[in-house]
């Protein structure tokens, strides 16, 4: 009787130590429900290596957060409607003008909502910095080979984020329904109409009939604030989970190997540095928005399809597409009652194609090297001359096309002929990347030679010594071992060789075209002209032992 009563009331004693304070008690409470101790065990003191270029990705993350925060604020005041109103507000020059509610509410945000203009400007500036940071972050990852196994999939996620960032930026730019944004959408209509077979149908379904219709702003609004950011948020989380899971890459150096990661722990140093960096980025963007106005829509007026301003340009990241469309010759094929507008369709296809080439690069390179190992040590750009040269060539193409997209501005600011700029861009799109490729590759090889020289002969001390027989020599000082290790720790691939023409039984072997292509590419990457052979310990020993002269 008594024993059963006591069994009902007495809970089994917890084996866990008593919490020392309220914070520990709270943590214990959460652990019992969420399992936070197991989660934090390996992450609280997770090691992050330090390098200034690793913060580029952080800028992307923080600007994305700023865009979401300010975007939510803007949706509270913006009316995504193309219903017509006659403006009667505090911006006098547009009083009495007919415009859409979208444009009127943008004016309202800019002039009547206190702080509204600031938030609009922060939203737009953050978007510009976001795309720019994604570009530069991607370049960092490309030029250092950080995309190699196991990070290829994360490279794809990053690429998709960039691609979606482009489009969400374009859609956001279109929402205020001002003269400039309407012109941008009209450009999009023209581009869609150039698609063979289905272009007119896509256009009519997108605009809800003929351009411009009344559906475009509400439709773009939903895509801009819900669909694309939702997808991007998912990709971003996946991107970050993978960064955490793979652990960060690091530069070569003493004590740094493929099997460890050297740096400082998340708590407290990285929490303070990364958390603080968010506020730095936000603070700088807020100050920029106070000082420099971007997209002053009130100066353009509401959209009317029969009006346009000069100097009509998209945000810079679309300048590459704008350049393609401006410099393309107006080729049209008319046959069998149909028109194929190659002058617009080719640029429309080239735009994603150039981007997709970047997306698949990791797979191309790993196919050429045949390397299935994990890589966590970064390449110095000079030690991968072909890759670096390809990246530089791509950037030069981007810049050439960007100057094509701004040909009118270049013409007026530098007093050049607009036509000449266009001709230059047409030719330059083919020539400049090739020149850039060769210059960059030679440059990298030169830097590799200099590294080799430094390793074998030491650094110049600036001390001139006269020898007893009258000869002057400059004294070189041996590099310390950590420097020697850093400069010689990169990997060098040997070019893949084609298999022997006959196999072990003396039967002629069939070598496929792919295999041959791969051998050719591999020769280009890692052959005689693709890299400088690393100095060896023997060479170093021979030179420094005093037996040989140099």
Partner 1 sequence: MSQDMSDDKLPQAHGAGEGHGEVAAADNPFADPGLPPHEPRRTDIDERAAKRAERQVSLLFIVSMLATVGFIASYVAIDPAKIVYIFPLGHISALNFALGMTLGVALFCIGAGAVHWARTLMSDVELPAERHPIEADDEVRADVIQQFKTGAGESGFGRRKMIRNTLIGSMALVPLSGVVLLRDLGPLPGTSLDTTAWKEATPTTPIRLINVNTNLPMKAEDIAVGSLTFAKPGPSALRPDGLQESDEDFQQVIAKSALMLIRIQPSDIKDAKSAALGFEGVLAYSKICTHVGCPISLYEQQTHHALCPCHQSTFDLSDGARVIFGPAGHPLPQLKITTDASGYLIATQDFDLPVGPSFWERNA
Interface positions, 333-352, toward partner 1 (CB under 8 A): 334, 337-344
Q: What are phi and psi of 338, to 5 degrees?
A: -130, 160
Binding to partner 1 by CB under 8 A, coded x per residue (else -) over 135-174, reads ---------------x------------------------
Among 285, 239, 226, 225, smallest CA distance to 61 is for 239
- The two three-digit tokens of residue 324, written as one number: 């393609």
Query: Closer CB to partner 1, residue 78 or residue 437?
Result: 78
Q: Which of residues 173-212 bind partner 1 (CB under 8 A)?
A: 183, 186-187, 189-191, 193-201, 203-212
Q: Which of residues 58-117 bind partner 1 (CB under 8 A)?
A: 84, 90, 98, 111-112, 114-115, 117
Q: Which of residues 450-479 bind partner 1 (CB under 8 A)?
A: 455
How many whole angstroms separate alpha carbon 79 and alpha carbon 297? 15
Choices 227-235, 269-277, 428-436, 446-454 (CB under 8 A): range interacting with partner 1: 269-277
Query: Closer CB to partner 1, residue 53 or residue 544?
Result: 544
User: What residues contact 10, with CB distance under 8 A and at least 6 apart?
Assistant: none
Query: Closer CB to partner 1, residue 289 or residue 436?
Result: 289
Of the residues 135, 282, 320, 351, which one makes contact with partner 1 according to CB under 8 A = 282
* Burial category of 208 from C-beta neighbours within 10 Å (exposed 0-12, middle 13-18, buried 19 and up): middle
Which 3 state secondary structure label does DSSP give 467? coil
Query: Closer CB to partner 1, residue 139 or residue 193?
Result: 193
Q: Which of residues 492-521 bind partner 1 (CB under 8 A)?
A: 492-497, 499, 509, 512, 514-515, 518
How many whole angstroms separate alpha carbon 161 and alpha carbon 142? 16
Question: Which residue reads 């089994």 in tokens?
Answer: 12
User: What residues contact 231, with CB distance under 8 A and at least 6 apart?
Assistant: 164
**Residue 307 binds partner 1, judged by CB under 8 A:** yes
Query: Closer CB to partner 1, residue 75 or residue 214?
Result: 214
Of the residues 46, 51, 454, 457, which one makes contact with partner 1 according to CB under 8 A = 46
Q: Which of residues 224-253 bind partner 1 (CB under 8 A)?
A: 245-247, 252
Of the residues 24, 258, 420, 474, which one makes contact with partner 1 according to CB under 8 A = 258
Which 3 state secondary structure label does DSSP give 470? coil
Query: Closer CB to partner 1, residue 132 or residue 534?
Result: 534
Query: Closer CB to partner 1, residue 281 or residue 397?
Result: 281
User: What residues contact 200, with CB distance under 8 A and at least 6 apart?
Assistant: 193
Query: Closer CB to partner 1, residue 306 or residue 471?
Result: 306
Q: What residue ranges in 332-477 does DSSP mark as E strands?
A: 333-335, 338-340, 459-466, 472-477
Q: Which of residues 359-378 bind partner 1 (CB under 8 A)?
A: 367, 369-371, 373-374, 376-377
Per-residue three-class SS string for 329-343? CCCCEEECCEEECHH
Residues present in the chain in total = 550
């Amino acid at each position: 009787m008594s024993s059963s009563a006591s069994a009902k009331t007495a809970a089994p004693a917890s084996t866990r130590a008593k919490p020392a304070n309220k914070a520990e008690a709270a943590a214990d409470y959460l652990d019992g429900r969420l399992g936070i101790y197991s989660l934090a065990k390996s992450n609280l003191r997770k090691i992050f290596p330090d390098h200034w270029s690793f913060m580029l990705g952080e800028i992307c993350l923080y600007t994305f957060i700023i865009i979401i925060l300010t975007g939510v604020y803007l949706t509270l005041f913006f009316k995504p409607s193309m219903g017509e109103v006659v403006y009667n507000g505090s911006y006098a020059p547009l009083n009495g003008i007919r415009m859409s509610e979208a444009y009127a509410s943008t004016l309202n945000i800019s002039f009547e909502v206190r702080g509204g203009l600031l938030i609009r400007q922060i939203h737009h500036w953050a978007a510009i910095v976001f795309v720019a940071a994604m570009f530069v972050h991607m370049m960092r990852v490309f030029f250092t080979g950080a995309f190699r196994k196991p990070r290829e999939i994360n490279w794809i996620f990053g690429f998709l984020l960039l691609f979606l960032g482009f489009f969400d930026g374009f859609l956001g730019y279109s929402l205020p329904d001002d003269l400039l944004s309407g012109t941008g959408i009209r450009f999009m209509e023209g581009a869609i109409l150039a698609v063979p077979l289905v272009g007119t149908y896509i256009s009519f379904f997108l605009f809800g009939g003929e351009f411009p219709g009344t559906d475009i702003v509400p439709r773009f609004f939903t895509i801009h604030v819900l669909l694309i950011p939702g997808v991007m948020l998912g990709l971003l989380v996946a991107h970050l989970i993978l960064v955490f899971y793979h652990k960060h890459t690091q530069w070569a150096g003493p004590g740094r190997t493929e099997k460890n990661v050297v740096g400082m722990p998340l708590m407290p140093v990285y929490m303070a540095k990364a958390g603080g960096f968010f506020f730095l980025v936000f603070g700088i963007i807020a100050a920029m928005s106070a000082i420099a106005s971007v997209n002053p829509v009130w100066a353009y007026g509401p959209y009317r399809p029969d009006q346009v301003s000069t100097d009509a340009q998209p945000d810079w990241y679309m300048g590459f597409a704008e350049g393609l469309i401006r410099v393309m010759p107006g080729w049209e094929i008319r046959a069998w009652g149909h028109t194929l507008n190659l002058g617009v369709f080719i640029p429309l296809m080239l735009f994603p194609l150039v981007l997709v080439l970047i997306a698949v690069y990791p797979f191309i390179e790993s196919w050429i090297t045949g390397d299935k190992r994990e890589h966590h040590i970064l390449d110095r750009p000079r030690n991968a001359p072909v890759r670096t040269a390809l990246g530089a060539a791509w950037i030069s193409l981007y810049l050439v096309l960007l100057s094509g997209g701004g040909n009118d501005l270049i013409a007026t600011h530098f007093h050049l002929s607009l036509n000449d700029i266009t001709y230059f861009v047409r030719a330059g799109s083919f020539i400049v990347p090739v020149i850039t490729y060769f210059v960059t590759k030679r440059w990298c090889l030169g830097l590799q030679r200099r590294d080799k020289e430094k390793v074998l002969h030491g650094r110049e001390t600036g001390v001139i010594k006269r020898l007893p027989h009258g000869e002057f020599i400059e004294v070189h000082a041996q590099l310390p071992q950590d420097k020697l290790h850093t400069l010689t720790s990169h990997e060098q691939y040997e070019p893949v060789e084609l298999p022997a023409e006959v196999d072990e039984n003396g039967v002629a072997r069939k070598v496929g075209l792919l295999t041959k292509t791969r051998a050719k590419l591999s020769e280009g990457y890692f052959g005689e002209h693709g890299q400088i052979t690393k100095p060896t310990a023997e060479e170093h020993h021979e030179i420094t032992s005093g037996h040989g002269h140099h």
